[in-house]
């Protein structure tokens, strides 16, 4: 095993970057960078039927968007390439032939129908289904006869009998598997393509991977990979299996669970900040010392300690992510927030794509009203709805405010004060509201709540003088006038 820390994230180009896979990549990145090591991105593309054309590019693009950087891969090269499994077939072929020659693997001619029948019979007998090994000791004549029938063989690894495989897991401590519970497994399919467990072990060895940090769902693969390492006399990497991510009902996060947005691309499209998502994912199954929850990428690299990986499932708290992203948005430059919000206003038909300089400034002012409140870019559409309505519908709470006895007096004076303004700007509007207070004697909630409800249609919202400025003089006066009719 290499003395240098070398870790890998090895996606299949079968779809978009899922939150669980992003966490695997992120933890490997933090682990490597904290220890001065390297992150390798390896594309496991041997399942050609499931690969999609844009899968590889999508994985890399959204890893970069999150802020994850790597040292070796298909795009940056490296001395241990190629970094696509589909381009490493010569290496796999050499090594599975070596196992065949040593009698550590064998050709299996069983059909899928025969394997299914065997499996069903084992289940019927109450046995754990696994391959019986019936092709393990075929004679040359028996193999020749099966090939004469036109059968294409797969290659199976001959699992040693009566052996215990134990490894010290970075998360789970000592883990053991009995070889007798693992049937001889396929290492090369009938089409000549190596299977996951074989290719991964070969690649990890030749790419000098020192640590394998991955999801808990891979732990049953580990003994099979340890067998491959042992068969070749290679030293195995250190394994660590992160606990599962679960939803708020403590159920395993499923891609069919529509209560949670699960793909990084979706978060980008909704106007989330990559730094916020990086921060949130880094706390899914890992915890720093102390109570702080907001860290920069550089801070995470400095403090990351694999010993603090959780042994309990990581709960995906959607509300916490919303809160966290809001913290990041509040600290952004306004122009950056505008860039996040504008595409959503355009898509909703609220603003045109070809805007004048005056319209551009109005949009900027609109977004500024909600920067403190916004949790993600797309939220601007719902938050700012009142600025695009001709008619206001007052709910029960708002109607109760407008029914208070002082409201006609306040509205009448407000209309007079606003009508007289030459510069309809927030500072002047604030003075006008103070003048209403002076003229009517009403203050506090008796003054501000009716104005807010009458003009905005809500009992809460953005800073009142700023909101009135963005609404514009004509629209505000029209809303006040309508109340008195």
**What does the alpha-carbon distance between residue 64 and residue 429 come to, in Å, rounded to a whole number?**
46
Which residue from 258, 249, 201, 232 is spatially nearest to 98, judged by alpha carbons? 232
Q: What are the residue numbers of the active site?
A: 255
Q: Which two tokens stand for residue 384?
A: 């700012």
**What does the alpha-carbon distance between residue 467 and residue 485 come to, in Å, rounded to a whole number?**
24
Question: Which residues sit opposite 271 in a β-bridge?
Answer: none
Long-range contacts for 227-232 (Cβ within 8 Å, ≥24 apart)? Answer: 227/157, 227/159, 227/160, 227/165, 227/179, 228/157, 228/187, 228/197, 228/198, 228/201, 228/202, 229/201, 229/205, 231/99, 231/102, 231/104, 231/157, 232/95, 232/98, 232/205
Name the percent of the chain in helix, strand, coil, to the closest 5: 50, 10, 40
**What does the alpha-carbon distance between residue 275 and residue 277 come to, in Å, rounded to a whole number?**
6
Residue 99 DSSP symbol: H
Please give the order of strands across the beta sheet that includes 105-108: 105-108, 154-157, 186-188
Residue ranges of alpha helices (H) inside 331-444 are 334-347, 357-370, 380-383, 396-402, 407-419, 426-440
The H or E element spanning position 154 is: strand 154-157
Q: Is residue 421 within 8 Å of 428, Cβ to Cβ?
A: yes
Q: How far is CA 278 from CA 67, 101, 350, in A?
A: 7, 48, 31
Contacts of 46 (CB under 8 A, 6+ apart): 85, 86, 193, 194, 196, 199
Q: Which two tokens stand for residue 273?
A: 């900040």
Residue with tokens 């008796």: 446
| Other Cβ atoms closer than 10 A to 78 | 16
**DSSP SS3 for 332:** coil
């Amino acid at each position: 095993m290499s003395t240098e820390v070398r870790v890998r994230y090895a996606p299949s180009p079968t779809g978009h970057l899922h939150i669980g896979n992003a966490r695997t990549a992120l933890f490997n990145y933090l682990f490597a960078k904290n220890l001065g090591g390297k992150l390798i991105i390896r594309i496991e593309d041997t399942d050609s039927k499931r690969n999609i054309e844009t899968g590889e590019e999508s994985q890399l693009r959204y890893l970069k968007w999150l802020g994850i950087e790597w040292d070796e891969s298909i795009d940056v090269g490296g001395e241990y390439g190629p970094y696509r499994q589909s381009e490493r077939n010569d290496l796999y072929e050499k090594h599975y032939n070596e196992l065949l020659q040593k009698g550590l693997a064998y050709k299996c001619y069983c059909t899928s129908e025969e394997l299914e029948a065997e499996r069903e019979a084992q289940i019927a007998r109450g046995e754990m289904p696994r391959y019986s090994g019936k092709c393990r000791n075929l004679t040359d004549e028996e193999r020749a006869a099966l090939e004469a029938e036109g059968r294409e063989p797969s290659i199976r690894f001959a699992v040693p009998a009566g052996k215990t495989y134990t490894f010290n897991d970075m998360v789970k401590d000592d883990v053991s598997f009995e070889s007798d519970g693992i049937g001889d497994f396929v290492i090369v399919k009938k089409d000549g393509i190596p299977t996951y467990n074989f290719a991964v072990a070969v690649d990890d060895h030749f790419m000098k991977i020192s640590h394998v940090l991955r999801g808990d769902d891979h732990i049953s693969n580990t003994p099979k990979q340890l067998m491959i390492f042992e068969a070749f006399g290679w030293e195995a990497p250190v394994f660590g299996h992160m606990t599962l991510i679960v939803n708020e009902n403590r159920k395993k996060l499923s891609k069919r669970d529509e209560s949670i947005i699960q793909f990084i691309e979706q978060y980008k499209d909704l106007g989330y900040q990559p730094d916020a998502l990086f921060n949130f994912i880094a706390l899914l199954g890992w915890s720093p010392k102390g109570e702080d929850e907001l860290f920069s990428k550089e801070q995470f690299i400095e403090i990351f300690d694999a010993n603090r990986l959780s042994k309990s499932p990581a709960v995906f708290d959607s509300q916490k992510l919303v809160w966290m992203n809001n913290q990041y948005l509040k600290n952004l430059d306004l122009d950056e927030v505008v860039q996040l919000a504008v595409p959503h206003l355009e898509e909703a038909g609220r603003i045109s794509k070809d805007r004048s300089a005056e319209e551009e400034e109005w949009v900027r002012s609109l977004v500024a009203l909600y920067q403190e409140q916004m949790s993600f870019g797309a939220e601007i559409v719902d938050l700012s709805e009142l600025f695009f309505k001709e008619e206001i519908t007052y709910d029960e709470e708002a109607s109760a405010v407008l029914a208070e006895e002082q409201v006609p007096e306040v509205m009448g004076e407000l209309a007079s004060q606003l009508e007289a303004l030459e510069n309809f700007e927030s500072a002047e509007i604030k003075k006008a509201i103070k003048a209403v207070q002076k003229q009517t004697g009403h203050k506090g909630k008796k003054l501000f709540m009716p104005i807010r409800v009458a003009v905005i249609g809500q009992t809460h919202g953005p800073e009142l003088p700023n909101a009135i400025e963005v609404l514009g003089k004509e629209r505000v006066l029209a809303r006040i006038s309508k109340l008195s009719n």
